[in-house]
């Protein structure tokens, strides 16, 4: 463990952040360069004393979980996170494993999207973030637990909640796309990974998934023109545009209706009425 190197790196990354980068107000009386130590500690869910000792080269070796929390709090890129893990004397996490936070670059774009449904997903189809309109249109998947966070699970395992989002005539195409995308991730990660575990569970639970898996189709399809079915507003026609991270491990999906269309009016209605009415009960 390189205590000196880690202390200098943490301090430099803390001072490089602006309060606005993490949703804080940069008041006129603020004298601290970058974030305060207590702000980083709060964002990383650790004590101020513990974080201070790390910056002063006095702390114990932080665990991988603590380092992951610090990486999120300091908005580190993948390269910066890997560097922090090496300084702390730990193996670098698998970049294509299960994501524990949204890429800082995608997060900055995502945070500015409020007038159209948007979400961030991993290349395994795990929902990492949704804005309010994304939840109102698609349901709250970030709040799900276990395998329910993964699109393939919600599609192939009862009660098949995601199928209700698509017209019956389009469900076959969507099912094949989900399986093809999961196979692409499986090819990158291998059997001994979250992708391998998910595939094994789906093969055990779903005959339909098993038949599609045997087709050996491989593709990553996100950008698309589709019709989504809302239980109260009916069909909503949208274009799905995608922005990938550099390693293509995460994707920001933005669902936009055609301007001055009926679909645009329905999206506006979702925004006006909010999430509560559509998720009640």
| Together in a domain, 114 and 72 | no
Sign of CA dihedral 217, 206, 158, 196: negative
The CATH number given to whatever domain includes residue 150 is: 3.30.450.180
**Are 157 and 41 part of one and the same domain?**
no
| pLDDT at residue number 101 | 74
Quick one: 67 exposed, middle or buried, by C-beta within 10 A (0-12, 13-18, 19+)?
buried
Is residue 273, in this structure, part of any structural domain at all? yes
Residues 264 and 212 in one domain: yes
Q: Is residue 21 part of a domain?
A: yes
Residue 94 lies in a domain: no
Residue 26 in any domain: the answer is yes
For residues 204 and 240, the answer to whether their CB atoms sit within 8 Å is no
Cα dihedral 95→97→99→103 (10° resolution): 20
Residues 236, 123 share a domain: yes
Q: Are residues 182 and 222 in the same domain?
A: yes
Are residues 75 and 165 both part of a single domain? no
Does any domain span residue 193? yes
Same domain for 240 and 185, yes or no, is yes
Look at residue 93 and tell me if it is in a domain: no
* Separation CA 80–CA 182 (nearest Å): 28
Tell me whether residue 58 is in a domain.
yes
Quote the domain boundaries for residue 23: 3-87
Residue 278, pLDDT score: 47
Say whether both 48 and 183 belong to one domain: no
What is the pLDDT tens value at each position of the chain, 281 positions in all?
Answer: 888 889 998 988 888 887 766 666 665 666 666 788 888 888 888 899 999 999 898 878 998 888 988 988 888 877 788 888 889 988 876 655 555 578 888 888 998 998 999 999 988 899 999 999 999 999 999 888 889 999 999 999 999 999 999 999 999 999 999 999 999 888 887 788 888 999 999 999 999 999 999 999 888 766 688 999 998 899 999 999 999 887 788 899 999 999 999 999 999 988 877 655 544 44
Residue 128 lies in a domain: yes
Query: Do 75 and 112 have their domain in common?
Result: no
Residue 202 φ then ψ, to 5°: -70, -40
Q: What are the residues whose beta carbons fall under 8 Å from the beta carbon of 149, sequence distance 6 or more?
A: 126, 127, 141, 142
| CATH number where 33 lies | 1.10.260.40
115 and 12 fall within a common domain: no
How far lies 36's CA from each of 31, 95, 208, in Å?
Answer: 10, 29, 53
Residue 39 pLDDT: 86
- Total domains, the chain: 2
Same domain? For 78 and 211 the reply is no
Two tokens at 188?
């990158």
Measured distance CA(198)–CA(213) in Å, rounded: 12
127 and 256 in a common domain: yes
């Amino acid at each position: 463990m390189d205590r000196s190197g880690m202390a200098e790196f943490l301090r430099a990354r803390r001072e490089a952040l602006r309060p606005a980068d993490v949703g804080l107000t940069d008041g006129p009386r603020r004298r601290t360069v970058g974030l305060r130590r207590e702000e980083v500690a709060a964002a990383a869910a650790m004590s101020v004393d513990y974080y201070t000792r790390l910056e002063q080269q006095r702390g114990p070796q932080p665990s991988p979980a603590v380092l992951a929390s610090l990486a999120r709090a300091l908005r580190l890129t993948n390269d910066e996170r890997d560097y922090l893990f090496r300084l702390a004397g730990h193996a670098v996490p698998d970049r294509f494993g299960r994501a524990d936070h949204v890429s800082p670059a995608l997060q900055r774009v995502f945070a500015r999207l409020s007038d159209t449904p948007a979400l961030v997903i991993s290349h395994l189809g795990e929902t990492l973030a949704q804005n309010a309109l994304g939840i109102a249109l698609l349901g709250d998947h970030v709040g799900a637990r276990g395998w329910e966070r993964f699109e393939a699970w919600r599609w192939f395992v009862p009660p098949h909640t995601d199928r209700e989002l698509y017209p019956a005539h389009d469900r076959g195409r969507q099912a094949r796309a989900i399986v093809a995308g999961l196979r692409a991730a499986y090819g990158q990660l291998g059997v001994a990974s979250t992708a391998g575990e998910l595939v094994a569970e789906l093969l055990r639970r779903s005959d339909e998934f098993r038949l599609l898996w045997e087709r050996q189709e491989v593709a990553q399809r996100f950008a698309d023109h589709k019709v989504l079915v809302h239980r109260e507003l009916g069909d909503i026609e949208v274009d799905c545009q995608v922005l990938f991270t550099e390693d293509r491990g995460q994707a920001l999906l933005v669902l936009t209706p055609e301007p001055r269309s009926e679909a645009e009016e329905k999206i506006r209605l979702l925004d006006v009425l909010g999430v509560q009415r559509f998720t009640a009960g």
